[in-house]
Structure 1
Amino acid sequence: MKIENIELRRVTMPLVSPFRTSFGTASERETTLVRVTTANAEGWAEHAAEPDPLYSSEFLDGGDVVIRDHLVPRLQALGGRLTAELVATTLAPVKGHPMSKSVLETAILDAQLKEAGTSFAHHLGAVRDCVPAGVSVGIMDSLDELLAAVESYLAEGYLRIKLKIEPGWDLEPVRAVRERFGDNVLLQVDANTAYTLADARHLGQLDPFGLLLLEQPLAEDDILGHAHLAKLIQTPICLDESIESARDAAAAIALGACSVINIKPARVGGYLEARRIHDVAAANGVPVWCGGMLETGIGRAANVALAGLPNFVLPGDTSASSRYYAQDLTAPFVLEEGHVRIPRGPGIGVDILPDVLGEITTSSMAIRF
């Protein structure tokens, strides 16, 4: 495939409501969109990094520099003729920066599949037409506010509720949700690395609530700590930030550090590596689900396609567009009896709305091949 141009476009979109985690509070989604142009197609992807290096060491401004000055030149050295399957090995000499590598690989893969007339879902190996949708509920100012939010999401039809937790906002919110909505609601919690192994006894108090899982309670580099914690509590441990590759997944499973994995394609370097993690987990009988990073319709389309693979057996953060945006960058994803439909058009299968794109763009830069 001959690439003619790569564009980096910075956009900012307001969220319908602030989203708070143990890392901080977001009221808007600022991201860099990457557009790859060939003679016959254009591919799109969005950078998952946040403006500040809180979720990970990557951040948006740094990502733009890495893409422009270090990653794209390596792709240009191939003469502009490359496939998505070559991106990871070509960019491997640049240490780290999986989100920046992912956004390039994904945009190239989108263009490549559009030229071939093949959908993301078909290419990755999806076996479903739609996927069950869960919703992530941020940390609230009060239990009443939390319960109102959960009630609203359940009324919309979401099949699973995920509560963000941190020290001081954990046992009581979970207890309140269980008491109000009962034991039949699929409920899980996400700590985003907010605890240490010294909190094991406290985290064990979550066991009676029958949670699907406890996501990433300890630091991302504390695999052994998670393995030890898994022996001390009954709630299944799910790893998120700790898993950046199929090799990480294999090691964590072998050490007993997790019994569930949250796969975020951007965090692991792209959808091709995400598929490898899926395969490793499936071979070991470990279920996976697809996490979210406040994606617009661009990233959501690719995530929904990935979540159609057979070992994605738990509802993911594949929420409807209205969960985050009053106006999405694409036609909105909507709930259909608790599910979101997988796009079947070429590439990611959705079209960018040019008027919306123009309104939210704050800067752009083109790189000729």
Structure 2
Amino acid sequence: MSEELNDVVVNNYTVGDVVNGQITKVEEKQVIVAITDSKLDGIIPISELSSLHIEKASDVVSEGDQLELEVIKVEEDALVLSKRKVDAEKAWDQLEEKFKAGEVFEAEVKDVVKGGLVVDLGVRGFVPASLVEAHYVEDFSDYKGKTISFKIVELEKDKSRLILSHRAVVEEEKSKQKQNLLDSIEVGQTLTGTVQRITDFGAFVDLGGIDGLVHISQLSYDHISSPTDVVQEGQEVKVKVLSVDRNNDRISLSIKETQPGPWANIAERAEKGSVLDGTVKRIVSYGAFVEVFPGVEGLVHISQIAHKHIGTPHEVLKEGQEVQVKVLDVNEAEQRLSLSIKELTEKEVDEEEVYELPEESKGFQLGDMIGEQLKKLKN
């Protein structure tokens, strides 16, 4: 007879009806409910309390709780009820709206299982490990009981499939932050950033959500063979914005332009009349350029290379040669330095040819020579 009662009305209730009731007793594996406006009691099996697995009924409900429940079975003296089904039906409607709107919402992580996290949203929501964070996480145990933000990435009500992602929220926030930062950056600004990555051609600096490239030529005024000669990953640096390409999310930066230039205070470092060591960097028809400080070259005019006349500087100098130079003039504003090599060398003196008499003729007087000739004439 009880099987027949499942398909008929008993005390005006049938399977599928939604009723209200108050919990009067919480047992370990079931809950007793006093149904509103009825003398019948209701029983909620522990499996019908939540969409998640629970060990005891008291983990979910307490005595005195008012609940909305669905009739899943009709007995002669009681109704078998489900809290899970009512919660799920309401939840699916709300979740479909959130899914369509791409809404971000917060929820508590109820459990950590193999492969990800479990969230109770009225229905069981699963967060695969790959969708928890934008970075790799080895241990998820700290996530249990933690409330974090999610987006729904997959929803199939007929399969009770609900996939959530916290990673999507993180990446969306980063994207917004990146765009806001990109819109605010202007050419000429000096910013502080962190060296994120180093390549053969330069260093990428994180400006707080977006990376900019410092080309190797913009790392230092000195000649360097590798970016690691100047910077290291994780190092905090000051950079100047050289250009911003908002269409391609590219920012060009410079470290060297935040530092004093090689010509700064050159009048003090290369005073007029001072003597400096240098290296011949370039030879041209009218002279030679000598580097006296990193990034600072001065001109030794061809007339200041040697005391003697030379047709080309190559007769005396070669590139890479170490030389000493004297500062003739310095102009910091125009970044010009006039140098001399010849003023530090002695002038070569031409030796005059001196005629000396033979040894045997030394002591002879002019008169002696004439007298000897007169004797010959008399004879």
Q: TM-score of the superposition, structure 2-length normalised?
A: 0.16
Which structure has more strand as a fraction of its residues?
Answer: 2
Q: Which has the higher contact order (CA 8 A, sep 6+)?
A: 1
Larger-gyration structure (1/2): 2
Q: TM-score of the superposition, structure 1-length normalised?
A: 0.16
